[in-house]
Amino acid sequence: PDNNPLLAMVSLIAPALARGNAVVVVPSQPYALIATDFYQVLETSDVPAGVVNILTGREEVLGKTLSEHQGVEAVWYFGARDGMVNVEHRATDSMKRTWVELNGRDWVQNGEGPEFLSASCQVKNIWIPFKA
């Protein structure tokens, strides 16, 4: 992600969009400007308004808010272990589906990539914090 932050973010968003989902992206602080520039591209495209939403701010605050929000059906979280635990704990109240990166799990290297993408893209609203 550090070498190609835009490509990394788009590769996370594209499968969800292809399956007809709305996406909320929380970019990491060093790449927030790249994410907002990408949003300007989306505004001039045929992607309907509100399908891709980019939020900038403190990850702890946004993680709490989005994992508890009743309108968000699933959360992908890639970040600090404390954040993973908090997201999974807070998501239980709404029975929200979560995917977290524990112990540096690599979904593609383990051969779980297609199954992971298929399962994670079967919901309608997904929060994807892009953490570089």
pLDDT in tens, 106-118: 555 665 666 666 6
What token pair was written down for 84? 């993973």
**Cα–Cα distance measured from residue 74 to residue 91, given in angstroms and rounded to the nearest whole number:** 8
Quote the tokens at residue 36.
């907002």
Q: Are 130 and 26 in contact (CB under 8 A)?
A: yes
pTM of the model: 0.70
Tens digit of each residue's pLDDT (9 = 90 or more) over 52-95: 998 888 877 888 888 888 888 888 777 777 888 888 888 888 88
Tokens of 13: 């968003």
- As a whole number of angstroms, the distance between CA 116 and CA 64 comes to 23
Q: Which two tokens stand for residue 33?
A: 């400007």
**Mean pLDDT score of the chain:** 77
Please list the residues that pair with 22 across neighbouring strands: 125
